[in-house]
């Protein structure tokens, strides 16, 4: 199984990840190699095995419905690239 | 060709919790931008979600109310997409194992009831808001809403007209407020609807291609948006075109739906179980406790009101539209000891009109159910007439006085002293010989003239029944 | 001073032999002298001295804890309020964390002095510390070799005595492998033992923080402060924390050690194998019983890991979008441009490779073939550990197939690099604890021995490892030039 450069570009777009045109080829090569490595999983029949999402066989703990957080906007926005009137600014969103 | 419409609704209800679904930030509406977005809501590096017990509780209440299967283990998944109002680049939602499974809801359209299937209801976090006012050509992002708990309720494609869709939506709206799991405020976005609409030739089994209409936030717009969409699709097909599966936005100003190109591309959400959260376990005991605490549901209450109080369909429907209104009715009825019909008419009539005029909800009514009961009791024991009662009610609306206090202060007590009434009647008969002649010669209509004169003379305080009886006797032909 | 253990330093602080300020200054001086190791991304000199002063007051006024006044360093993956937290990435080069990780908070409560933030592979993705935006870290045993990764800065700094002890994180071997390559002690606790809150996520179901120290005795003290239930982390486990130092000297006579034959196959360098055999013999002398065991699914750990970890990371790293914090590209033309360029310019090549891999594995049509398949294999591997640990008390094996390799030697070949994690990855998939301790040298480069225990049996692991350090002195030897 190998990935084409077009597929790499498609995935990169899905992940909103800019990659240089001259690197696409090498990504395709690396990823194809990794896919080959992954293909080794197929050596093993796993029919009927329950997928394991988590190392701990536990259930979710629930939090009481109480407000514990105070307004920290100023602190949080000092590290923001662009803010105005308390809002985070981004290029125009077109719907 | 005859066409059939197929509609399924996805309704997002904000669960009325104090804090967010995965953080301890407040959920109150209308705060200054980003003042209610904590580290977890902002998706700062390293933060982790912890699930709010109350969100789970409310989801289970809903599930029990629609007689759905509640999943013993439900799983949160990440829905991946990039959007500025989605801070983590994924929304924590549920995919394969939602907390609420198949259930149903009864609706009524034109007196015919129909069962609408509910496919599932799952917990998820709300996104923030994009503000499109101009910030030098940029968009502002407010993440206060990010992380507000949502229960997304997905119906089966069981509705066949916009009218049915609206009935379903209203029924659901009523239900979530009854259950006290959502405030139902549509202006503030607490109850939002997406509609999946398709058409097919009548008799065909397969569904047509559907379009999803987003952003319809009132009952009126749901009806209009769906009707517009039905016509658009039929026209398209009849002109040889094809409906494409897409997301469309309803523009209430232009009353049309239009394609949302921005959301069209690459809808590959790459769902997978969120490794930061473990499966949510709901025990049989937990369900049993909730079941025991479930309030009487709207449909059941309506039927009981019809049976127990002999109310007609219309009054029963109005009074059970909200739990608060139904409670108001039952309290007023019990306290006043009057006839159910009188009580119902007063609430759906005078009181509702006054509330509407003032733009108030029943829970904010200046006249409490106890005070209204005091007024109804005076109608029942004939201390005042219905007409005087309206006058008393107006006084009550403006003040905090009881009906009795107003009746006493204004001297509105009905005159039941027959001697006093007789004097007046004699005076009127003596003063209007012409009319007496007409009545005695068979003109029944003139009787009303005498009643009016007597009541006028007595400033409305005479008991109309008594006046009628005595007048009839005096005018005897 | 810099060769003393935590207990010796704590005694010195209490006896007035030296103050925390003096101790801190001594370490700051060493850090500056050895900057060519490139272990620190941020040296927090001012706040370190301030905290040392406060520690001295606390030491004088009573109720100090064991770590009060002890200079330690944090891997730059833990958020430290007011201190730059980069995760080894250009993406967070300007990120001053606005809050503390629970682990950092725990050390602050204990009165430990934070010297600074340690270099690491970018977003903990790497096995050589060469993927860091801040340049490769060097191994003090041989400046031309890598310290391992991703906690390479931590391992190198502790080995070179540039901090008394450090924290690390381990997703697929990131504590144990650099510990082995730098000749120090590194413990990856049971998944859920140490809070992940404030630890920037790479692969959430695998990540676990742990101590990196010169001795097992110090590791026990560090873990005592790091471990514990945290209500801010849903995956944190609410179990009491035992006294990790209490049982260190317990006898290990009769201990049953399992050696999986899959761990001693062709891939293992024969000199490393010989060193490990000597180490295992040492245990035999201590009264342990050695037996060979089979763990048939271990060979699939690498492919399963390289599906699961990238899948989780592809979502975990979506939050770095140039909107609320971190790197933002210049003059974005539109929203898509903002995202693709901020992320394209802010992330390095290995991070991008894994995001692409994970995105692919989760995308429509491939989910079952990759992600679900990998999770099924994860179950089988976890069963292998359960079965093994039902027969024996601990499993022992290598940490790394070779000693430290040369800088630049493997970075061009990602798959070869991935394969070097062959002995560590399965442990994360299962979630069990494991420790790496120095077990000799091959051509003057350290070799690590890995000891794997049952869930929440960190106390037992520390005991077993400590007994070995009582009869060997590998862990006491400093690299040349760093004595």
- For residue A73, give both structure tokens: 């906007």
Angle at Cα C391 formed by Cα C454 and Cα C424, nearest 5°? 45
Express as a percent the part of chain B with pLDDT over 70. 98
pLDDT one-digit tens code per residue, C468-480 = 999 999 999 999 9
- pLDDT for the residue B463: 76
Q: How far is C321 from chain B (nearest CA, A)?
A: 8
- pLDDT for the residue C168: 98
For the question of residue C150 being annotated catalytic, the response is yes
Q: Which 3 state secondary structure label does DSSP give C67?
A: coil
- pLDDT for the residue B421: 81
List chain A domain ranges.
5-43
CATH number of A5-43: 1.10.20
Residue for token pair 């009524």: B108
- Tell me the C-alpha to C-alpha distance, in Å, between residue C438 and each of B354, C72, C248: 85, 21, 17
Residue for token pair 């502002």: B140
- Tell me the C-alpha to C-alpha distance, in Å, between residue B62 and each of B91, B176, B281, B316: 22, 7, 16, 23
Select which of C20, C89, C132, C174 is catalytic: C174
Contact B268 C364 (CB under 8 A): yes
Residue B134 has pLDDT above 80, yes or no: no
* Confidence band, pLDDT 50/70/90 cuts, at residue B50: very high
Pick from C352, C372, C377: CB nearest A17: C352
* Confidence band, pLDDT 50/70/90 cuts, at residue B446: confident
Task: Kindly give the residue spans of alpha helices, DSSP state H, lying in C62-160.
Answer: 102-110, 152-159
Of B35-44, B428-437, C178-187, C367-376, the one with minimum mean pLDDT is B428-437
B208 or B448, greater pLDDT: B208
- What is the SS3 assignment for B431-465? HCHHHHHHHHCCCCCHHHHHHHHHHHHCCCCECHH
Pick from A54, A65, A90: CB nearest B139: A90
Contact B36 A58 (CB under 8 A): no
For the question of residue C443 being annotated catalytic, the response is no
Q: Does residue A81 sit at the C interface (CB-CB below 8 Å)?
A: yes
Pick from C336, C347, C379: CB nearest A52: C379
- pLDDT for the residue C391: 97
Mean pLDDT of C363-376: 94
For the question of residue C138 being annotated catalytic, the response is no
Contact between C433 and C209 under an 8 Å Cβ cutoff? The reply is no
Contact A90 C238 (CB under 8 A): no
Please give the domain boundaries of chain B with CATH numbers for all domains. Answer: 3-284 (no CATH), 296-410 (no CATH), 418-474 (1.10.10.410)
Residue B285 has pLDDT above 70, yes or no: yes
pLDDT one-digit tens code per residue, C264-278 = 988 999 999 999 999
Mean pLDDT of B436-446: 85
In CATH terms, C6-254+393-476 corresponds, of 3.90.1300.10, 3.40.50.800, 3.30.70.3270, 3.30.365.10, to 3.90.1300.10
Contact C205 B275 (CB under 8 A): yes
The CA distance from B428 to B436, in Å, is 10
pLDDT one-digit tens code per residue, A7-39 = 999 999 999 999 999 999 999 999 999 999 999
* Confidence band, pLDDT 50/70/90 cuts, at residue B266: low
Interface test with C, best of B43, B48, B91 (most C CBs within 10 A): B48
Interface test with C, best of A13, A38, A93 (most C CBs within 10 A): A38
Mean pLDDT of B121-142: 91
Contact between C184 and C211 under an 8 Å Cβ cutoff? The reply is no
pLDDT one-digit tens code per residue, C442-469 = 999 999 999 999 999 999 999 999 999 9
Residue for token pair 């407010």: B142
Q: Least CA distance to A74: which residue of chain B?
A: B35
List chain C domain ranges.
6-254+393-476, 299-374
Residue B424 has pLDDT above 80, yes or no: yes
Select which of C19, C20, C75, C89 is catalytic: C75
Pick from A14, A63, A69: CB nearest B52: A63
Of B183-192, B398-407, B468-477, C131-140, the one with minimum mean pLDDT is B468-477
- pLDDT for the residue B461: 76
Helix (H) or strand (E) holding C213: strand C208-213
Contact B89 C319 (CB under 8 A): yes
Preceding peptide of B222 cis, ω within 30°: no
- pLDDT for the residue B361: 86
Cβ density class C241-278: b for 16+ within 10 Å, e for less: bbebbeebeeebeebebbbbebbbeeebeebbbebbee
Mean pLDDT of C125-130: 97
Exposed (0-12), middle (13-18) or buried (19+): which is C330, by Cβ within 10 Å? exposed
Contact C360 A3 (CB under 8 A): yes
Contact between C298 and C384 under an 8 Å Cβ cutoff? The reply is yes
Task: Kindly give the residue spans of alpha helices, DSSP state H, lying in B72-113.
Answer: none
Residues in chain A: 95
* Confidence band, pLDDT 50/70/90 cuts, at residue B435: confident
Q: Least CA distance to A63: which residue of chain C?
A: C231
Strand B149-155 relative to strand B76-80, pairing: unpaired
Contact B138 A92 (CB under 8 A): yes
Of A79-93, B401-415, C2-16, the one with minimum mean pLDDT is B401-415
- pLDDT for the residue B323: 86
- pLDDT for the residue B233: 96
Interface test with A, best of C96, C203, C372, C376 (most A CBs within 10 A): C376
pLDDT one-digit tens code per residue, B353-394 = 999 999 888 988 999 999 999 999 999 888 888 888 998 999
Residue C326 has pLDDT above 70, yes or no: yes
pLDDT one-digit tens code per residue, B456-475 = 887 777 777 778 888 888 88
């Amino acid at each position: 199984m190998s990935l084409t450069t077009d597929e790499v570009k498609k995935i990169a777009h899905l992940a909103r990840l800019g990659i240089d045109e001259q690197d696409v080829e090498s990504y395709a090569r690396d990823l194809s190699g990794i896919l080959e490595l992954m293909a080794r999983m197929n050596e093993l029949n796993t029919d009927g095995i329950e997928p394991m999402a988590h190392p701990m066989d536990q259930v979710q703990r629930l939090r009481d419905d109480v407000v514990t957080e105070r307004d920290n906007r100023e602190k949080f926005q000092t590290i923001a690239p662009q803010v105005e009137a308390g809002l985070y600014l981004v290029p125009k969103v077109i719907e | 060709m005859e066409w059939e419409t197929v509609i399924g609704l996805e309704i997002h209800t904000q669960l009325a919790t104090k804090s967010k679904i995965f953080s301890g930030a407040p959920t109150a509406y209308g705060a200054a931008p980003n003042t209610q977005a904590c580290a977890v809501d902002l998706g700062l590096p390293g933060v982790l979600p912890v699930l709010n017990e109350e969100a789970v509780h409310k989801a289970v209440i809903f599930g029990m109310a629609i007689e759905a299967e509640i999943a013993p283990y439900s799983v949160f998944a990440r829905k991946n997409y990039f959007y500025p109002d989605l801070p983590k680049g994924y929304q924590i939602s549920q995919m394969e194992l939602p907390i609420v499974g198949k259930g149903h809801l009864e609706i009524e359209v034109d007196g015919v009831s129909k069962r609408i299937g509910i496919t599932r209801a799952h917990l998820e976090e709300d996104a923030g808001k994009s503000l499109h006012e101009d910030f030098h050509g940029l968009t502002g992002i407010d993440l206060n809403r990010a992380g507000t708990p949502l229960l997304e309720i997905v119906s089966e494609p069981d509705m066949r007209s916009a009218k049915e869709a609206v009935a379903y939506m209203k029924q659901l709206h009523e239900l979530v407020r009854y259950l006290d799991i959502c405030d139902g405020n549509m202006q503030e976005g607490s109850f939002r609807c997406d509609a999946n609409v398709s058409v097919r030739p009548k008799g065909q089994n397969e569904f047509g291609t559907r379009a999803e209409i987003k952003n319809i936030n009132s009952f009126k717009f749901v009806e209009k948006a769906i009707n517009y969409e039905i016509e658009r699709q039929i026209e398209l097909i009849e002109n040889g075109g094809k409906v494409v599966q897409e997301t469309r936005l309803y523009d209430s100003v232009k009353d049309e739906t239009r394609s949302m190109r921005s959301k069209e591309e690459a809808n590959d959400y790459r769902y997978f179980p969120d490794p930061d959260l473990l499966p949510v376990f709901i025990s049989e005991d937990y369900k049993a406790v909730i079941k025991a605490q479930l309030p009487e549901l709207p449909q059941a209450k309506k039927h009981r009101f019809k049976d127990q109080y002999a109310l007609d369909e219309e009054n029963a429907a109005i009074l059970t539209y909200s739990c608060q209104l139904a409670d108001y009715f039952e309290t007023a009825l019990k306290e006043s000891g009057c006839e159910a019909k009188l009580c119902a008419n007063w609430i759906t009539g005078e009181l509702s009109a006054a509330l509407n005029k003032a733009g108030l909800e029943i829970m904010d009514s200046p006249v409490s159910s106890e005070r209204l009961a005091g007024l109804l009791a005076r109608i029942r024991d004939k201390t005042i007439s219905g007409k005087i009662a309206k006058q008393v009610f107006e006084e009550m609306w403006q003040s905090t006085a009881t009906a009795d206090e107003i009746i006493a202060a204004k001297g509105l007590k009905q005159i039941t002293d027959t001697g006093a009434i007789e004097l007046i009647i004699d005076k009127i008969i003596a003063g209007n010989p012409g009319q007496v002649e007409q009545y005695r010669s068979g003109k029944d209509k003139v009787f009303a003239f005498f009643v009016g004169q007597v009541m006028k003379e007595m400033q409305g305080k005479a008991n109309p029944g008594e006046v009628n009886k005595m007048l009839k006797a005096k005018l005897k032909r | 001073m810099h060769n003393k253990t935590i207990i010796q330093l704590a005694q010195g602080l209490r006896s007035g032999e030296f103050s925390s300020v003096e101790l801190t200054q001594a370490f700051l001086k060493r850090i500056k002298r050895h900057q060519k190791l490139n272990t620190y991304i941020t040296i927090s000199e001012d706040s370190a001295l301030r905290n040392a002063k406060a520690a001295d007051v606390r030491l004088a006024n009573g109720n100090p804890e064991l770590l009060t006044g002890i200079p330690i360093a944090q891997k730059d993956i833990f958020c430290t309020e007011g201190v730059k937290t980069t995760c080894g990435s250009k993406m967070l080069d300007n990120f001053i964390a606005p809050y503390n990780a629970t682990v950092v908070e725990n050390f602050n409560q204990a009165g430990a002095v934070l010297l600074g933030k340690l270099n690491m592979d970018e977003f903990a993705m790497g096995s050589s510390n060469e993927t860091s935006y801040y340049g490769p870290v060097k191994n003090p045993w041989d400046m031309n070799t890598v310290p391992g990764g991703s906690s390479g800065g931590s391992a190198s700094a502790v080995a070179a005595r540039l901090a008394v002890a450090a924290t690390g994180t381990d997703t697929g071997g990131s504590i144990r492998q650099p510990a082995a390559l730098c000749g120090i002690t590194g413990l990856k606790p049971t998944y859920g033992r140490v809070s992940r809150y404030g630890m920037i996520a790479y692969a959430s179901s695998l990540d676990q923080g742990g101590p990196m120290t010169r001795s097992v005795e110090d590791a026990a003290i560090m873990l005592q402060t790091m471990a514990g239930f945290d209500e801010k982390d849903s995956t944190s486990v609410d179990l009491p924390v035992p006294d990790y130092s209490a049982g260190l000297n317990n006898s290990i006579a009769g201990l049953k050690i399992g050696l999986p034959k899959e761990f001693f196959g062709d891939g293992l360098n024969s000199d490393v194998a010989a060193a490990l055999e000597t180490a295992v013999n040492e245990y035999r002398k201590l009264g342990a019983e050695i037996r060979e065991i089979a763990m048939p699914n271990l060979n699939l750990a690498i492919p399963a890991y390289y599906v699961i970890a990238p899948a989780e990371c592809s979502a975990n790293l979506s939050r770095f979008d140039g909107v609320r914090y971190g790197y933002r590209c210049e003059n974005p033309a539109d929203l898509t441009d903002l995202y693709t360029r901020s992320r394209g310019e802010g992330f390095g090549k290995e991070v991008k490779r894994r995001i692409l891999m994970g995105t692919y594995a989760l995308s429509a049509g491939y989910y079952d073939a990759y992600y679900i398949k990998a999770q099924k294999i994860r179950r089988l591997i976890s069963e292998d550990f359960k079965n093994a640990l039902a027969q024996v008390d601990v499993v022992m094996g290598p940490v790394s197939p070779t000693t430290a390799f040369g800088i630049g030697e493997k970075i061009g070949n990602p798959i070869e690099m991935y394969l070097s994690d062959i002995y560590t990855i399965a442990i994360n998939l299962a979630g069990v604890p494991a420790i790496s301790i120095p077990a000799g040298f091959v051509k003057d480069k350290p070799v690590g021995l890995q000891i794997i225990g049952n869930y929440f049996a960190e106390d037992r692991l520390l005991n077993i490892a400590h007994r070995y350090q009582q009869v060997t002195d590998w862990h006491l030897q400093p690299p040349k030039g760093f004595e």
